[in-house]
Amino acid sequence: MDLIINSTFETPAVRFIESNGDFQIKGRIIPNSGNAFWKNIHTWVTDTIPKVNVPVTLTIEIEYINAYSVTQLLNLISSLKSVTDRGCLFSINWISDKDDGNEVYLIGQDIAAATNCPFEFSGVLENCN
């Protein structure tokens, strides 16, 4: 079952295609703890990821992320990493300006170090869906 969530002012567009393991998060991530955005994603991942038998690639292209969402993203990555227990690959593409002054890039670096997942950092893409 695929997951499609349209973006709002506070939440990013989210798309997970179960058949090919393509998972994308794109936009602003600023919901507070009372917003159901992260709860819905975690519930979906908990229900779906145990059934996924293809490599999962998480592409993250965010404009801004708040502290609450950094924690939730770390939890999400930990849950997704469980596909490796079944022999499937898991990788993350973090798309942002590669500038040591760019807060989003630095957050990606911190998450890569904290999760010990294979990360690839690349520059901002134009016109991607």
Query: What ranges in the chain are assigned the alpha helix state H?
Result: 37-48, 67-80, 103-115
Cα–Cα dist 20/5, whole Å = 18
Write out pLDDT tens, residues 26-71: 999 999 888 899 999 999 999 998 888 899 999 999 999 999 999 9
Q: What is the largest CA-CA distance in the chain?
A: 40
Domain boundaries, the chain: 3-122
pLDDT of residue 33: 85
Fold of 3-122: Transcription Regulator spoIIAA (3.30.750)
pLDDT of residue 99: 72
Residue 20: both structure tokens together: 């090919």
Write out pLDDT tens, residues 96-127: 887 767 899 999 999 999 998 889 998 865 54
Write out pLDDT tens, residues 6-21: 999 999 999 999 999 9
pTM of the model: 0.89
Please list the residues that pair with 71 across neighbouring strands.
none
Taking only Cα atoms into account, the Rg of the chain, rounded to an integer number of angstroms, comes to 14
pLDDT of residue 127: 46
Q: Is 5:11 a contact under the CB 8 Å cutoff?
A: yes
